[in-house]
């Protein structure tokens, strides 16, 4: 035990003396949460529509007007068809609407009039929004222009309600979810370099010549960075709740427990990378490669896991961030749901345990 505490003390001294781990633990969550809050918005996308109106009547003028009455749509009327096309190609506008010369005439005769909408499909998600905004606005205009009685009243309508996040505010989902990405990065970064550094500087050899046991060495590393990581985690969660007002309906005890498990997995990945590669240069490459993109793209934060092909859904099961995103979003917005907590805690413990065993096996106890 004395050896363990001596090692622990050494780790803490290293943390305190090198400001970069403190910066990782506090500045990184701050930067990323501000970006997620103010830089990312998945609610509804704003769309810019260019309109070419070849049928200048009061009715079509009302239609082009209506494209400016929506918070998510702005429009520009073009005189030249050529210019409209160019701006669409250059992504100055997201969609173009062409109103043909016979538009009002056809409507007056009670025929079906046509308009053409062209979107910039290269940015597929924005094009999707553009499509539906244009159709909706044209429909709204039709009701106004022709009077409600002339358009058929639908016999069935549907109302949508969103449980747990009634206003469908995407920040309620992104901010808690982002803790998973940030903490994966922090956990891996904190530990990825530490064992490799010992090898590179030769202090590992010094340690190996003492009476220290392998498990004590590993436990001291886990412990020191676990404490630092938990502080960073609380800081991150505190910012979500206290500064950005994300509703928290769960239990802090459960949150701490599962977050601790999750942190252990991230630290485990870092330590494993570090002890396998024994080289800071490679360890940091691996840490950034493994830590950032997969946890952002495959955890369910940016893209829904349920829509992925089955094989790739299987791969995401290996990703601690995926289980943690599911858990933390649910803990925040729904509250403690026993099934969700138990299942994800189980996955995380299994991953943490496997990583711990791998770290122990890969930590060389003697010089090669």
Partner 1 sequence: MWVRICALIKKEFIAFWNDPKSRIMIVWLPIMLLLVIGPAITLEAKNIKLAVWDRAQTLESRELVARFAASPRFEIVRMAESLPQLRHWMDTQSVQAGLLIDNDFSDKIKRGETAEVLTVFDGRQTNSAAIMSAYVQQIVAAYAQELSADVYPRVAKAAVDVEIRNWYNPNLEYKWYLQTVLIALIAMVMTLLLTALSVARERETGTFDQLIVSPLSSFEILVGKMVPPLLIVMALVVVMTVIVIWGFQVPFVGSLWLFVAVMPFALLSIVGVGLFISSVVRTQQQAILGVITFQLPAALLSGFLSPVEDMALPFKIIGKCNPLYYFINLVQGIFLKNMNWTEALYNLWPMMLMAVITLSLAGWMFNKRLD
Count CA atoms closer than 13 A to 236's CA, side-chain side: 34
Please list every residue from 37 through 76 that binds partner 1, using CB under 8 A: 38-46, 48
Q: Is 302 in the site for partner 1 (CB under 8 A)?
A: yes
Residue 129 CB, nearest distance to partner 1 (Å)?
10
CB 105 within 8 Å of CB 137: no
What length does the chain have? 368
Q: Tell me which residues in 322-341 interact with partner 1 (CB under 8 A).
A: 326, 329-330, 333-334, 337, 339-340
Considering the rule CB under 8 A, would residue 288 count as an interface residue with partner 1? yes
Pick from 353, 15, 348: which is nearest to 180 by CA?
A: 348
Considering only residues 238-277, where is the footprint of partner 1 by CB under 8 A?
A: 277
Nearer Cβ to partner 1 (6/317): 317
Contacting residue, 61, 80, 312, 357, with partner 1 by CB under 8 A: 312
Nearer to partner 1, 36 or 222 (CB): 36
When the beta carbons of 174 and 237 are compared against partner 1, the nearer one is 174
145-184 residues near partner 1, rule: CB under 8 A: 146, 150-166, 168-170, 172-174
- 227 lines the binding site for partner 1 (CB under 8 A): no
Choices 204-212, 213-221, 233-241, 282-290; region in contact with partner 1 by CB under 8 A: 282-290
Contact 193, 24 (CB under 8 A): no
Tell me whether residue 157 or residue 211 sits nearer to partner 1 (CB atom): 157
Q: Which two tokens stand for residue 336?
A: 């403690």
Measured CA distances, 55 to 80, 133, 342 (Å): 14, 21, 63
- 318: which 2 tokens? 């290996």
**Nearest distance in Å: CB 118, partner 1:** 5
Residue 315 in the binding site for partner 1 (CB under 8 A): yes
DSSP state of 205: H
Let me know: does 38 contact 244? Beta carbons within 8 Å: no
Identify which range of 222-230, 243-251, 308-316, 347-355 contacts partner 1 by CB under 8 A: 308-316
Q: Rounded CA gap, 113 and 109, in Å?
A: 10
- Residue with tokens 């934060």, as numbered in its chain: 301
Give the residue with the Cβ less far from partner 1, 31 or 206: 31
The residue (of 183 and 298) whose beta carbon lies closer to partner 1 is 298
Is 3 among the residues that bind partner 1 (CB under 8 A)? no
The answer for residues whose C-beta is within 8 angstroms of residue 112's C-beta and 6 or more apart is: 106
The pair of three-digit structure tokens given for residue 17, joined into one six-digit string: 């003396």
Our CB check for partner 1 shows the closer of 64 and 216 to be 64
Closest separation in Å from C-beta 234 to partner 1: 20
> How far is Cα 363 from Cα 276, in angstroms, rounded to an integer?
8
Question: Is 295 within 8 Å of 321 (Cβ atoms)?
Answer: yes
Site string for partner 1, 7-26 (x = CB under 8 A): -----------x-xx-xx--
Q: Which is nearer to partner 1, 334 or 349 (CB)?
A: 334
Q: Please say whether the beta carbons of 263 and 183 come within 8 A.
A: yes
Asked if 262 and 348 count as a contact pair (C-beta separation under 8 A), the reply is yes
Minimal distance, residue 229 CB to partner 1, in Å: 15
């Amino acid at each position: 035990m004395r050896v363990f505490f001596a090692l622990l003390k050494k780790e803490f001294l290293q943390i305190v003396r090198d400001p970069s781990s403190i910066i990782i633990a506090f500045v990184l969550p701050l930067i990323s949460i501000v970006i997620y809050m103010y830089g990312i918005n998945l609610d509804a996308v704003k769309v810019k529509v260019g309109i070419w109106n070849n049928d200048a009547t009061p009715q079509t003028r009302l239609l082009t007007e209506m494209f400016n009455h929506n918070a998510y749509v702005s429009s520009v009327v073009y005189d030249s068809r050529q210019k409209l096309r160019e701006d669409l190609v250059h992504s100055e506008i997201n969609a173009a609407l062409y109103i043909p010369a016979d538009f009002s005439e056809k409507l007056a005769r009670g025929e079906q009039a046509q308009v053409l909408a062209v979107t910039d499909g290269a940015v597929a998600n924005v094009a999707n929004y553009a499509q539906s905004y244009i159709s909706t606005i044209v429909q709204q205009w039709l009701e106004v222009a022709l009077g409600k009685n002339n358009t058929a009243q639908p016999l069935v309508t549907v109302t949508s309600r969103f449980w747990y996040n009634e206003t469908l505010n995407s920040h309620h989902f992104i901010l808690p979810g982002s803790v998973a990405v940030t903490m994966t990065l922090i956990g891996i970064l904190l530990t990825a370099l530490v064992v490799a550094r010992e090898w590179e500087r030769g202090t590992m050899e010094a340690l190996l010549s003492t009476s220290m046991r392998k498990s004590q060495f590993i436990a001291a590393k886990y412990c020191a960075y676990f404490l630092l990581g938990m502080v960073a985690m609380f800081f991150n969660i505190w910012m979500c709740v206290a500064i950005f007002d994300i509703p928290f309906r769960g239990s802090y005890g459960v949150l701490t427990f599962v977050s601790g498990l999750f942190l252990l997995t991230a630290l485990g990945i870092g330590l494993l990378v570090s002890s396998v590669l024994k080289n800071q240069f490679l360890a940091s490459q691996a840490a950034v490669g493994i830590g950032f993109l997969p946890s952002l793209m495959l955890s369910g934060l940016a893209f829904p896991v349920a829509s992925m092909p089955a094989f790739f859904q299987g791969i995401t099961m290996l990703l601690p961030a995926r289980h943690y995103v599911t858990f933390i979003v649910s803990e925040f917005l729904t509250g403690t749901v026993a099934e969700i907590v138990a299942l994800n805690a189980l996955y995380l413990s299994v991953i943490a345990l496997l990583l711990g065993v791998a770290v122990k096996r890969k930590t060389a106890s003697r010089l090669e």
